[in-house]
């Protein structure tokens, strides 16, 4: 687990609390501070993370940090959005580009053509009819696994997706026809986006599924 700053010019202190002296300062947002060594509650219930940054063991207030799974860039700066891909462009397209671009492996036991890795799955007969995300790192219509329910609704409203059905743990949206669409119903929709949530109200999986798929 790696710790990154979420603000610029963050004080790193010698202990878990503002009463401790400043050991050094992280100048830039998204600076990687190294591995998470410890976490403690300071005064007033504030959480602090311990790291070893520039050969110094120091503490950063959790309000100005994020703990993620990842590797350190050579310049010690995280670019959290650089490697994220918006995957809606793969939907109803051929498999070849998506499989190579997303580094997916074929599943020979699937009934239809299917490629996947730990967090992405694409499948279909002649085109990508389903695209599913089950881990962080990529988005569909701006939504990522781990997002909060209230943020998802705002994002999809801006994307002009129509909420079709909703329950305590799932939301279904109708997907408007895209420029690359190969099928559409009479109302101008060619698929559905199904988002499931965990008990904490965060996105657990995102499934984009085509409807009325044309034959080859």
Q: Find the DSSP H helices in 89-207.
A: 95-101, 149-158
**What are the pLDDT digits (tens) for 22-74?**
999 988 888 888 888 998 888 777 889 999 998 889 999 988 888 875 444 43
**What are the pLDDT digits (tens) for 69-120?**
544 443 444 444 445 788 988 888 888 888 888 889 999 888 889 999 889 9
Banded model confidence at residue 125, pLDDT cuts 50, 70, 90? confident
Tell the burial category of 16 from Cβ atoms under 10 Å away from its Cβ (0-12, 13-18, 19+).
Answer: buried
Distance in angstroms (rounded) separating the CA atoms of residues 69 and 2? 6
Q: What are the structural domains of the chain?
A: 2-68 (2.30.30.40), 87-210 (3.40.33.10)
Local structure of residue 151 (DSSP, 8 states): H
User: Is residue 52 within 8 Å of residue 35, measured between CB atoms?
Assistant: yes
Which of 72-76, 154-158, 194-198: highest mean pLDDT?
Answer: 194-198
Structure tokens at 108: 């020979």
Local structure of residue 28 (DSSP, 8 states): S
Flag the least confident range among 87-91, 180-184, 196-200: 180-184
């Amino acid at each position: 687990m790696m710790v990154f700053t979420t603000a610029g010019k963050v004080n790193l202190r010698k202990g878990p609390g503002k009463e401790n002296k400043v050991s050094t300062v992280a100048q830039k947002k998204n600076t990687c501070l190294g591995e998470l060594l410890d976490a403690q509650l300071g005064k007033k219930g504030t959480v602090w993370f311990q790291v070893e940054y520039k050969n110094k063991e120091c503490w950063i207030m959790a309000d100005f940090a994020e703990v993620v799974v990842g590797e350190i860039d050579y310049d010690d700066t995280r670019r959290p959005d650089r490697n994220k891909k918006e995957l809606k462009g793969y939907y109803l397209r051929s498999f070849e580009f998506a499989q190579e671009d997303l580094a997916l492996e074929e599943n020979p036991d699937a009934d239809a053509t299917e490629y996947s890795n730990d967090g992405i799955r694409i499948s279909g007969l002649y085109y990508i009819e389903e695209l599913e995300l089950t881990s962080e790192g990529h988005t569909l219509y701006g939504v990522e696994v781990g997002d909060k329910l209230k943020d998802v609704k705002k994002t999809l409203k801006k994307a002009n997706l129509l909420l079709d059905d909703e329950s305590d743990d799932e939301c279904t949206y109708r997907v408007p026809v895209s420029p690359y669409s190969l099928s559409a119903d009479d109302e101008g929709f060619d698929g559905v986006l199904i988002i499931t949530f965990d008990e904490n109200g965060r996105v657990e999986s995102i499934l984009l599924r085509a409807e009325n798929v044309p034959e080859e």
